[in-house]
C-alpha cells in the first residue's frame, strides 16, 4: 500500500479487514429493559466525569436486545447509564456496557468511546416475566426482572424524549507509549426513531460483586421504576464537547 491508499483506508482496525463497516448504523426491533434505581450518591459522583453533573443519585440499568443491526449483526448488551446534566441540559452518561459481539464492541469503543467489554448478557421473556441477565465468565453479576407489559406507556412521547436527549461518553484512546492520545467527552443522539411499543411494570434488580464487571459498585438501594420498549433507530455519530488534554 502506498501512502495515499493507507490514508484512504485508515478508518478502522485492521486496515486490510476492518472489524466493522462504515456507518450509519441502523437498528431494527431494538428491545430495551430499563430499570431505574437509587444508589449511593458519593459513589455515583466518584464515577461521573466533569463537566457533567448529577441532580439525583439515580442509575438506569439497561438490558438491550439487538437482533438486527447493520454492520454489527445480532447481539445483546447490558450496563449502567447515569442521568446527568451538562450546561443545564438533562442527558445520559454511559458508565459501563457489556456485550457479546466483537464488531459492536470494537466499533463502539473506537468510534464513539462506549465503555464496552465482552461478556454474556441475555434478555428473554419467561411466561409472565421479562428477564435480563449478565454473566461475566462463569459468574452471574446482574439480574433484572419486570412484569411483562403490565401497563402501556405513551410510546410516541418516549420516542420524542429519546430523540432530544443528549448522550455522553468518556472516550480514551492510548498513544503507543501508553499515555492518553485521545481523552474527550463525546456527545451523540439517537436518530430516526420509530417506536413499536412501550410498557411499564413491577421490577426488581440485583447485582453480585465482581472484580472485572463491577456493576455492584453502584449498589441498588431502591428500584424506582422500569420500562420495556421496542424501536427501530439509528445510532448517530458523535461530536466532541470537551477535550481533557487541552
At 5-15, the pLDDT tens digits run 999 888 899 99
Length reported for the chain: 246
Catalytic residue (choose from 116, 149, 164, 171)? 116
Domain annotation covers residue 6: no
Structurally, how many domains does the chain consist of? Answer: 1
Catalytic site residue 22?
A: no
Range of the domain at 171: 22-243
Domain annotation covers residue 64: yes
Domain annotation covers residue 226: yes
Domain annotation covers residue 56: yes
Contacts of 18 (CB under 8 A, 6+ apart): 11, 12
Q: Are 58 and 81 in contact (CB under 8 A)?
A: no
Domain annotation covers residue 189: yes
Q: What is the pLDDT of residue 9?
A: 87
Band of pLDDT at residue 81, cut at 50, 70 and 90: very high
Domain annotation covers residue 43: yes
DSSP letter, residue 18: -
Q: Whose CA is closest to 93, among 73, 115, 75? A: 115
CATH value at residue 169? 2.40.400.10
Give residue-wise pLDDT tens across range 134-176. Answer: 999 999 999 999 999 999 999 999 999 999 999 999 999 999 9
Give residue-wise pLDDT tens across range 192-242. Answer: 999 999 999 999 999 999 999 999 999 999 999 999 999 999 999 999 999
Instruction: Give the span between the Cα atoms of 207 and 151, in whole angstroms.
Output: 26
Domain annotation covers residue 49: yes
Domain annotation covers residue 12: no
Amino acid at each position: 500500500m502506498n501512502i495515499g491508499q493507507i490514508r484512504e483506508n485508515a478508518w478502522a482496525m485492521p486496515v486490510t479487514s476492518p472489524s466493522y463497516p462504515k456507518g450509519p448504523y441502523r437498528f431494527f426491533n431494538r428491545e430495551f429493559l430499563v430499570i431505574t434505581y437509587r444508589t449511593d450518591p458519593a459513589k455515583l459522583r466518584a464515577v461521573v466525569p466533569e463537566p457533567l453533573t448529577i441532580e439525583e443519585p439515580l442509575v438506569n440499568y439497561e438490558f438491550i436486545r439487538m437482533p438486527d443491526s447493520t454492520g454489527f449483526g445480532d447481539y445483546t448488551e447490558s450496563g449502567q447509564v447515569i442521568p446527568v446534566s451538562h450546561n443545564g441540559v438533562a442527558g445520559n452518561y454511559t458508565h459501563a456496557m457489556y456485550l457479546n459481539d466483537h464488531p459492536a464492541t470494537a466499533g463502539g469503543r473506537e468510534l464513539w468511546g462506549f465503555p464496552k467489554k465482552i461478556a454474556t448478557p441475555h434478555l428473554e421473556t419467561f411466561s409472565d416475566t421479562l428477564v435480563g441477565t449478565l454473566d461475566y465468565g462463569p459468574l452471574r453479576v446482574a439480574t433484572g426482572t419486570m412484569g411483562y407489559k403490565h401497563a402501556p406507556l405513551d410510546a410516541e412521547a418516549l420516542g420524542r424524549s429519546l430523540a432530544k436527549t443528549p448522550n455522553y461518553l468518556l472516550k480514551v484512546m492510548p498513544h503507543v507509549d501508553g499515555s492518553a492520545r485521545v481523552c474527550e467527552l463525546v456527545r451523540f443522539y439517537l436518530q430516526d426513531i420509530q417506536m413499536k411499543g412501550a410498557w411499564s411494570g413491577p421490577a426488581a434488580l440485583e447485582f453480585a460483586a465482581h472484580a472485572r464487571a463491577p456493576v455492584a459498585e453502584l449498589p441498588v438501594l431502591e428500584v424506582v421504576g422500569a420500562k420495556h420498549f421496542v424501536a427501530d433507530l439509528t445510532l448517530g455519530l458523535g461530536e466532541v464537547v470537551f477535550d481533557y488534554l487541552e
